Amino acid sequence: MKSVFLAGVKFPCLFILLALSISTLAQTKVVVDDTTPKQYLPKALQEDFLIFRKTLETTYPSLYRYADSVTINTYLNQQFSLLNRPMDETEFYKIIALCCARLNDEHLIAKPSPDYFKNQFVNKVKSFPFTFKIINRRFYIVKSASIPSPIKAGSELISINGRLMEEILNRLLPAIPADGYIQTFKIRHLEDYSTTQEENLFDILYPIFVEEATSFRLEYILPDQPSTKQTVVVAGLSKDEYRTFYQQRQVLEKPLTFTYLKEDVAYLKISSFLGWHRRRFKQNFDSLYQAIFNELKVKNIPHLILDLRNNEGGDTTGEELIAYLLKNPYRHFDYIEKKYVGLPPVSTYLENGEKLYVADSTVYKTASGSYRPKPEYYRQWTPLLLEQLPKANYFNGQLTVLANGASGSMAAVVCSFIKSNQRAVFIGEETGGAMEGPTARSFTKLTLPNTYIRIDVPLTKTVNAVTYTKGRGVIPDYWIEPSIEELIHGVDTELNFALKLLNHK
């Protein structure tokens, strides 16, 4: 039943409407506006925040992974102190989202309530009618929802509704969770970063952290008139219009493609390691890997280009790929750990909380208070705690890897092992995931009981058995980004560079 929030007390709409109809039968029918944000009293907000914080402290294993306890606890205390007045969900969500992002973990993700998406986001928020590419923190128009476009592709966007793009960027970046100190991940996720997504983070976060706008006054510079600023006002897109626009610009294709760019250069592109993506195109990666690497071995192909750009990650098929690319036995995990034994103390608020049991007999407690599996239970927890052997048909030639800031999670894990074992030349930009490993593998969802804001909570801290710099991804041997002109004209700058590099060797 729908409810109206008044002074913190819920009154069923049915009774209100009934009372009104009895006393004023001749008056106009009362309509409840679902797009009007509900107001929550400080007590409700504080209760939700304390449950969120207890989850971080008792269930989430990486609270102090990238900053010490004093720094993190001071920040959380400061955010809690803001909850001294009534707020709507959007205001409170900003606090929760910023807390998640402050912990530097791409998998710890806050999401507004289902009601926000169902009512306010769908019915009230208008979306930006362009796509763009960010190069050196500058925004360039790529595609438009309107044909012909009111702004020429390649134009530099200077401001939106009077706000400079640098100001907008500085509002959005702190709200995006990313591993460690990696910035490329945040930048790429403001763009159309993956064909497996249904929106980019600019379209989600702009109405929350910048403004809800029905139209956009854009100041821009044409590519052939760099000294002259132009202005245009464009209408925002409804959600149906946005969905049509997004589907036009992001076409989902099969996750794995393999071909030959030259007689002696093979090209393997993997756009995701996601199970649903494979099932959609009926691809079995195990059999595909076996066939591809058998062929490379039989043909004695000397060069392989592995393209993991815009691969947001996925499942263990990424770990399986590593064994085809390394030449020597290796350890995958240095260690993995949990924050709790038994059931999480906040299991009541967690999705499938009763199924998150960790048997005390299988773990030992570390000096920091976390729990790691005992050696005799390594195989039960994951065989990746044991020594791994390369596949019999592993690739023995020269490997080149293309990666960027949208190469996250499992894609970044693959890159980390290739880099640490000095098996490839990397071209592109810093990967979106930290080399030391993600907090991932097992997940739950926390739902805050008053606001119904949801937080994806990873439950297993992993530390890869690789050499790494704290909080950084794989740094490329050649940092290559396309220019806006190359991007608009469909030039694959990184791939072309890789081919030129092979020609000179």
The domains of the chain, with CATH numbers, are: 122-249 (2.30.42.10), 256-503 (3.90.226.10)
* Residue 32, pLDDT above cutoff 70: no
Q: Tell me the average pLDDT across 117-133.
A: 89
* Residue 163, pLDDT above cutoff 90: yes
* Residue 23, pLDDT above cutoff 50: no
Q: How far apart are CA 188 and CA 408, in angstroms?
A: 11
Q: How far apart are CA 418 and CA 122, in angstroms?
A: 43
pTM above 0.75, yes or no: yes
Q: Tell me the average pLDDT across 251-264.
A: 95
* Residue 2, pLDDT above cutoff 50: no
Using one digit for the tens of pLDDT, what is the confidence trace for 104-122? 999 999 999 999 888 887 7
Using one digit for the tens of pLDDT, what is the confidence trace for 183-238? 999 999 999 988 888 889 999 999 999 999 999 999 999 999 988 999 999 999 99
Q: Which tops the pLDDT comparison, 248 or 65?
A: 65
**Nearest in space to 317 (alpha carbons), one of 282, 281, 291, 278:** 278
* Residue 26, pLDDT above cutoff 80: no
As a whole number of angstroms, the longest Cα–Cα distance in the chain is 88
**Nearest in space to 109 (alpha carbons), one of 461, 447, 411, 457:** 457
Using one digit for the tens of pLDDT, what is the confidence trace for 76-87? 999 999 999 999
pLDDT score, position 15: 32
pLDDT score, position 118: 85
Using one digit for the tens of pLDDT, what is the confidence trace for 466-479? 999 999 999 999 99
SS3 307: strand
Q: Tell me the average pLDDT across 298-322.
A: 97
* Residue 25, pLDDT above cutoff 80: no
Using one digit for the tens of pLDDT, what is the confidence trace for 438-469? 999 999 999 999 999 999 999 999 999 999 99
Q: How far apart are CA 283 and CA 79, in angstroms?
A: 46
459-490: burial string, b at 16+ Cβ within 10 Å, e else: bbbbbbbbebeebbbbebeeebbbebeebbee
Q: pLDDT confidence of 3, banded at 50, 70, 90? A: very low
**Average pLDDT across the chain, whole number:** 92
pLDDT score, position 398: 97
Q: Tell me the average pLDDT across 137-144.
A: 97
- Tokens 């925040």 locate to 49
Alpha-carbon torsion angle 378, 474, 485, 128, nearest 10: 50
pLDDT score, position 35: 56
